[in-house]
Structure 1
């Protein structure tokens, strides 16, 4: 399905969880001089204008990053990426995960971004030309399997589908098992929404069976408007980097301050 556009949801609390964790992981991995690969399966447009009608209409950024940013100290990698994005793209700009990756990487690192939606891909290609990233208008899971194991072999993959298609929940454990089989040293970060009805439950059971040593992190928050089904956000991390569990515990404490 090619109807999803993240501009309506950019900067929401799910983004805060996902992007804060991603920025921290990249900061940790780039402390070593060894180059790394970053692969993203559902990249979106890369940069979002929170003053756009679509973003204002939903109110998700106003209930998200507008409230949560103050909880991160100035030296936190996520806070730094926010400030760098505004300096480069304007005061209302918000970084998608591709830009967080680009800002948090080095010239020796390799970035691959997949986005199938024509409009989102056009936006992404236009901005990513300055990042040195490889941008692919291709199904993200097909690209992930084609690229793994990547060169450099050290690195991480962000798997962030829209979950508009219910079949995603059933297919993701199989996709992650296939990717891990080819790239057993890669850090795999899966984001998933926590919706009323618990559609993510069977998927997580399958993932935890396949990856018993993985790290799972969830945060809860109230729906931002009547009829909105999202009531939380989750991350499932295969091969979690050292220290990530402690960082996610700090992130949970920040979310508690928003309650």
Structure 2
């Protein structure tokens, strides 16, 4: 499906949850000198303008990063990344996960990004020019299957689909164990929306059975507008890094303040 456009939702509360956790995981991984491999299956355009008409129309960034940014600790890697990238791209810029990764990773690390939507892929290629990232226009999940296991073997994969089709949930419940079997040392991070009908729950049950020790972290928030079905954000971490519970506790407190 190619109808989803993240520009309407960039910087929303789900992005705050996902990107704060992503920055924490990457910060943990880069503490060691060993190089690592970073993959994204649904990379988007990499950079968004929160003053653009689509962002203003939904008001999601105003309710999200505009409120949450100042509540994060000053030394949090996500907050520091936002400040650095806004100094470069402008005060209303919002970096997507590819640009966050490029900022936090090192020249010895490799970045591999897939985006299928033609316009988003072109924008992503422009944004990531000069970073050393490998950007391809491919189906994200097929991309992940074909590229794993990587060299270097340390690293992580972020899977962040739009979930436009109900079957996506159970497809991912089947896919993550396959990816883990191919790359048993890699951190697999799956983001999913929490909808009022609870359609994510069978996926989580299946993943917990197939991958014991998997960490699931969820935060809740009010729907952005009448009829909007998303009531929270969830992240699955396979091979969660040591000490990640400190980060999830911090985010629990942050989202309590945002209620």
TM-score, normalised via structure 2 length = 0.99
Aligned to 2:116: 116
Aligned to 2:162: 162
| Cα shift readout 1:12-63 (whole Å, capped 9, x = no counterpart) | 0000000000001111110100000000000000000000001110010001
Q: Which residue of 2 aligns with 1:253?
A: 253
Task: Quote how far apart the aligned CAs of 1:226 are.
Answer: 1.2
Q: 1:134-213 alignment to 2 at 5 Å?
A: 134-213=134-213
> For each residue in 1:70-89, what CA deviation from the matched residue of structure 2 results, as whole angstroms up to 9, or x when unmatched?
11122110001100110111
Q: How does 1:1-259 map to 2 (within 5 A)?
A: 1-259=1-259
**What CA distance in whole angstroms lies between the structure 2 residues aligned with 1:112 and 1:166?**
27
> In the alignment, is the contact (CA less than 8 A) between 1:157 and 1:186 conserved in 2?
yes
Distance 1:238 1:216 in 2: 9
Alpha-carbon distance in 1 for matches of 2:22, 2:120: 21
CA distance in 1, matches of 2:165, 2:118: 18
Name the SS for the 1:7 alignment partner: helix
**Runs of 4+, deviation exceeding 2 Å:** none
* Distance in 2, Cα, partners of 1:161 & 1:62: 23
Residues 190-209 of structure 1: CA distance to partner in whole angstroms, max 9, x if unpaired?
10000110111111111111
- Structure 1: tracts of 5 or more residues without a match: none
User: 1:135 aligns to what SS in structure 2?
Assistant: strand
Q: Secondary structure at the match of 1:62?
A: helix
SS of residue paired to 1:94: strand
Q: For the residues of structure 2 that align with 1:136 and 1:89, how far apart are their CA atoms?
A: 24
Deviation of 1:131 after TM superposition, in Å, equals 1.3
Contact kept? 1:215, 1:245, Cα under 8 Å: no
Q: Aligned to 2:157, what secondary structure does the other structure show? A: strand
Q: In the aligned structure 1, how far is the partner of 2:63 from the partner of 2:224?
A: 7
Aligned-partner Cα distance in 1 for 2:46–2:241: 24
1:109-141 residue CA offsets vs partner (Å, 9 max, x unmatched): 000001001111111011111211000100111
- Cα separation, 2, equivalents of 1:175 and 1:66: 35
Please say if residues 215 and 238 of structure 1, whose CA atoms lie closer than 8 Å, have aligned partners that are also in contact: yes
Cα RMSD between the aligned structures? 0.7
**Distance (whole Å) between structure 1 residues aligned to residue 13 and residue 85 of structure 2:** 18
